[in-house]
Structure 1
Amino acid sequence: GTLSPASPMVGAPAGTTAGARPNDEEEAKRIIRRPGMPTKVVLPPRPTRGAAQKDRGRLTVSSATGGEDERTRSVAAFRRRTQRLKGHVHDQKEKLLREVILPETITIQDLANRMSERSVDVIKMLMKQGQMATINDVIDADTAQLIAEELGHTVKRVAEADVEEGLFDTPDIQDDHALPRPPVVTIMGHVDHGKTSLLDAIRKTHVVTGEAGGITQHIGAYQIVTPAGLPITFIDTPGHAAFTAMRARGAQVTDIVVLVVAADDGVMPQTAEAIAHAKAAGVPMIVAINKIDKQGAKPERVRSELLQYEVQVETLGGDTIEVEVSATQGTNLDKLLEMIALQAELLDLKANPDRPAEGTVIEARLDRGRGPVATVLVQRGTLKVGDLIVAGTQWGRVRALLDATGMTLASAGPSVPVEVLGFSGSPEAGDRVGVVESESRAREITEYRDRVKREVAAARVGGMRSSLVDMMSQLKTAGRKEFPLVIK
């Protein structure tokens, strides 16, 4: 009874506030009018304290003007729906046809960029040809050309080898500058037939004592002067099966091949190999039948065995000179040198010393204390200390020139073998050496060669990543019965 007068008062504020809220809201609605624009009503954000948290998304015109929970489709969803209804016909962009410039090797990504195509499409085309590739794989120019032409582009092939133009084989302008040069003689033959001992007997020094098991582990190059006063350059090639490539390269720089055959052993597999190298190089051959002082030596047997390899010696009515020698006793060595000199005279060897040097690396190694050391046989021109030289992927400035005895030289003329110090790294045996005019040119050439070497290796590895099935099908087409396989 006591509270009854107050009860309306208790309820009144609640009622008034409840009734007042919509009106407040109306006032709170701000109406924005802009000339020439539809009227825009902006709602203030609702106080969320106490109420259930509602996630408010982005404030857009549609969310502001639309009802509270009414959701409309996004533009993208609408577009997708219309596309689905129309049967997914999207307007094809005009295809650009380009002239694509192709180097010798190119990555798939680069090729796609040059053609303005998607790299996925290029990979699809390679897959159709049965080649699995990723965008970073390197493909050769022929494959790239096929792909580009199939996609309707025109192709222009460029050889980056233009960088090397004018480095080697520039003809001598005046022949009257050409002077006689010493002959370069390569000594070949089977293991332990006495090649190095023969060379030692000629040079009156002993290299073989320091060799492991009497096998020459490197190519040595020495220049000697015959009793008649003629200088002769000798290259001693290793007589080991592992060095076939090196020996083949030895035959590239040589003028005359001396084939050493032991009289007590006859013609062996590597003797036959050496004959093949000499014939491939197209150089005259002199047969030295060694170890004639040994018991059981049969020089006649050697002569008849050589006939199997189409080598007919003079005593059997052929045109190949043969000399019976003994390295240990020193027999007939003068006669051998005389024959070499005679053969050299017939060849009439000349070279122009007054030009930038060209030559070939005979061997190269990394020396402790001296850095990369390369034995170079100068073939044309004169190599001087201070020259900028390029060999394979290495270049450098000649710091010092040393001869076979270790004496320093100021320059080296044609047919002179020298050790060259100053390379940035070890070149490979058989690399051509050339003198260039500037450091930038040297860098350009070596960087190009290095890149080519890497890319060729990458392309080769990429081609090798095939399955066993591919390998077997290739064997079937090649018609091979056996296949060498390494099981890892």
Structure 2
Amino acid sequence: MKAPTIGGVRIPAGNGQTVKLRQGATLSDLAEKINVNPAALVTVLFHLGEMATATQSLDEATFEILGQEIGWNIKIVSAEEEDRELLQQFDIDLDSEQEDQDDKDLKPRPPVVTVMGHVDHGKTRLLDTIRKTNTSAHEAGGITQRIGAYQVTVNLEGEPRKITFLDTPGHEAFTAMRARGAELTDVAILVVAADDGVMPQTVEAINHAKAADVPIVVAVNKIDVEGANPEKVRGQLTEFGLVSEEYGGDTMFVDISAKLGTNVDKLLEAVLLTADADLDLRANPNMDARGATVEARLDKGRGAVATVLVQQGTLHVGDAIVAGSAYGRVRAMLDENGKQMKEAGPSTPVQVLGLTSVPTAGDVFIVAPEDRTARQIAEKREATARAAQQAKRRKVVSLETLNEQFAKSEVDMLNIVIKGDSSGSVEALEDSLMKIEVSDEVGIQVIHRGVGAITQSDVDLATVDKAVIIGFNVRPNRQVQELADQEGVEIKYYSVIYQATEDIEAALKGMLKPEYEEVTTSHSEIREIFRSSKFGNIAGVMVQDGTVKRGTKARISRDGVVTINDLEISTLRRFKDDVNEVSEGYEAGINLGDFNDIQLGDIIETYEMQEVERK
């Protein structure tokens, strides 16, 4: 194939050869791989109607168009494949480590369990009951820390067995972690209320668990509530392929009361029996640790604190680890009871101190040979993620799509800044918000997300981009709150994901022009009139009801007839002092600006326009 000439620039023909590029690659990256001048590729793109610089991150579609033009098959590798190649540069091959496991090196490990189900069916109550029962039995005082995961011990046929629970109830968090490559869960507990039955989120939870190929144990909760009907739940779930053992199926159902603790021990036994029957849960404890981040947050006194779940190998204090773009040396490890640990084996959740930054929930962590290697891997990952993000944000402006771009600018976007107490919460909340669909006229855009308290930079960003800040279990300090008030930035606080999604959905529906109605706020009778050369006539009034506020709209009523509308309370005084408002039963001096046609006995009525809810 002859080298194409485009706009006077000759490009070496690729003859259909494949060239691999990472996500967020630039024209300079491609030029280096196919040995051409980056400026030539810029020119080619320009003649194709696309404008980009040599160092600008491009998306896959743009590279595909460019590749077809110059005869190269440009393939964008997935984030997983790219990360695998990055680790291989540092002689870390995760795939070969997995394949080279000798059967005799593998030891049994505890199952990892996630609790899922519909809102208000008792997921969190069940997790709390399991934790408290286990804690009070083994720890003096029963003090338990919320670290995002914990282990309980169950006696099965006289043998003590451990189960690891991920303390992130709900399929949103479960799927957010899976999306980041963290296949943590071995068994899912599906909580269904006996008095409520199968609900929409119950079905979603089943689908998410099946997509992950995770066996399900059904906990029929609230059997102590009036109207409970466990048999109805069993019948409903058969429609979704969950047939109980009593009906000849292979799914274990346990009737429980999370509130009273009834049959919770039987539920834990059912989890172990299901894991033994369906899964081969073994791992090699004698290798470098590998696992995933369950939760992470910024602690005022201890810096970045991450809860990690070890999946292979054993993690030791002093190990150099890298999780996503965060790295560091393990300074200390704590279990859910705050007890110091020196090492953590497979399926053990621990809080890790010593990371330089906060990783994201679901980030896979590995032990690196040394600190320098961990830092280099983290820095390369961060640069790659930044380039990929820029490629996504890049708005392709071409001669053919100008009209489309103008049309898109007419769409109202609700800009949102999300700050949360942990990366898992932020991730799950963002996923839930992005699923909201109201109409083609309005949409949501998350312009920033992060872990920790709401800061001045968050308010500054929200001010510039006219965004709403959502604080999930976090608050700003007083100065930041005052700045937000000054700038008119709205900060909404939540501790439950579905409440946030409901509010945002309502806000999107309300991005249509609001409706207003007039609300009367006060009536004041003029009892005296003062003449002033500077201000004109000042009405000495007695406030009969409500509250008169300076700056509000007003009208004059004389003998029950409105004489004039559209006035304004320009000055409001109590004796010699200017005031903002005067309440019922007090005297005041009111000036109505340029309007002076007032008489004794006139009624000054104030009113304001208040927004009403759309039907």
TM-score by length of 1: 0.68
Distance 1:471 1:357, change over 3 A: farther
Distance 1:199 1:486, change over 3 A: closer
Matches within 5 A, 1:129-278: 129-140=48-59, 143-144=62-63, 147=66, 150-151=69-70, 161=83, 162-165=85-88, 166-169=92-95, 170-171=97-98, 172-204=100-132, 220-228=148-156, 229-239=160-170, 245-246=176-177, 252-278=183-209
Q: Could you tell me how far apart the structure 1 residues matched to 2:258 and 2:188 are?
A: 17
Q: Could you tell me how far apart the structure 2 residues matched to 1:383 and 1:142 are?
A: 42
1:469 pairs with 2:404: yes
| Contact persistence 1:323–1:332 (CA under 8 A) | yes
| Contact persistence 2:285–2:346 (CA under 8 A) | yes
Q: Secondary structure at the match of 1:139?
A: coil
| Contact persistence 1:98–1:115 (CA under 8 A) | no
Q: Could you tell me how far apart the structure 2 residues matched to 1:284 and 1:270 are?
A: 18
Query: What's 1:49 paired with?
Result: none
Q: How far did 1:198 drift?
A: 1.5
Query: What's 2:543 paired with?
Result: none
Q: Secondary structure at the match of 1:440?
A: helix
Q: Which moved more, 1:410-419 or 1:144-153?
A: 144-153
Distance 1:280 1:116, change over 3 A: closer
| Contact persistence 1:256–1:283 (CA under 8 A) | yes
1:382 pairs with 2:317: no
Query: What's 2:359 paired with?
Result: 427
Q: Could you tell me how far apart the structure 2 residues matched to 1:251 and 1:163 are?
A: 18
Query: What's 1:411 paired with?
Result: 343
User: Letter of the aligned partner of 1:469 in structure 2?
Assistant: E
| Contact persistence 1:402–1:409 (CA under 8 A) | yes
Q: How far did 1:173 drift?
A: 3.4
Q: Secondary structure at the match of 2:58?
A: strand
**Unpaired segments of 5 or more residues in structure 2?**
1-6, 136-145, 409-436, 445-465, 467-615
Q: Which moved more, 1:333-342 or 1:364-373?
A: 333-342
Structure 1 or 2, whichever has the larger Rg, is 1
Query: What's 1:27 paired with?
Result: none
Query: What's 2:440 paired with?
Result: 483
Q: How far did 1:111 drift?
A: 5.0
Q: How far did 1:127 drift?
A: 3.9
Q: Could you tell me how far apart the structure 1 residues matched to 2:75 and 2:396 are?
A: 27
Q: Deviations over 1:453-474 (max 9, x none)?
A: 111111111156665626979x
Query: What's 1:301 paired with?
Result: 232
**Unpaired segments of 5 or more residues in structure 1?**
1-91, 208-217, 474-479
Q: How far did 1:106 drift?
A: 3.4
Question: Would you tell me which structure has more strand in proportion to its own residues?
Answer: 2
Q: How far did 1:112 drift?
A: 5.7
| Contact persistence 1:115–1:148 (CA under 8 A) | no
Q: How far did 1:243 drift?
A: 7.7
Q: Deviations over 1:130-184 (max 9, x none)?
A: 4333444222577557646745789899986422123534124322121111111
Q: Secondary structure at the match of 1:447?
A: helix
Larger relative contact order (Cα-Cα within 8 Å, sequence gap ≥ 6)? 1
Q: Could you tell me how far apart the structure 2 residues matched to 1:428 and 1:157 are?
A: 24
Query: What's 1:361 paired with?
Result: 293
Q: Could you tell me how far apart the structure 1 residues matched to 2:75 and 2:281 are?
A: 43
Q: Which moved more, 1:304-313 or 1:409-418?
A: 304-313
| Contact persistence 1:389–1:435 (CA under 8 A) | yes
Q: How far did 1:118 drift?
A: 6.8
Matches within 5 A, 1:341-360: 341-346=272-277, 347-360=279-292
Q: Could you tell me how far apart the structure 1 residues matched to 2:13 and 2:332 are?
A: 53
Q: How far did 1:329 drift?
A: 1.8
Query: What's 1:316 paired with?
Result: 247
Query: What's 2:41 paired with?
Result: 122
Q: How far did 1:415 drift?
A: 0.7
Query: What's 2:303 paired with?
Result: 371
Q: How far did 1:279 drift?
A: 0.4
Distance 1:192 1:244, change over 3 A: farther
Q: Secondary structure at the match of 1:245?
A: helix
Distance 1:204 1:108, change over 3 A: closer
Matches within 5 A, 1:39-58: none
Q: Secondary structure at the match of 2:232?
A: helix
Q: Deviations over 1:346-369 (max 9, x none)?
A: 223111111100111111111111
Q: Secondary structure at the match of 1:204?
A: helix
Q: Deviations over 1:49-86 (max 9, x none)?
A: xxxxxxxxxxxxxxxxxxxxxxxxxxxxxxxxxxxxxx
Corresponding residue pairs, total = 380
User: Letter of the aligned partner of 1:272 in structure 2?
Assistant: V
Q: Could you tell me how far apart the structure 1 residues matched to 2:48 and 2:147 are?
A: 46
- Aligned-pair RMSD on alpha carbons? 3.6
| Contact persistence 2:180–2:363 (CA under 8 A) | no
Q: How far did 1:187 drift?
A: 1.2
Q: Which moved more, 1:184-193 or 1:242-251?
A: 242-251
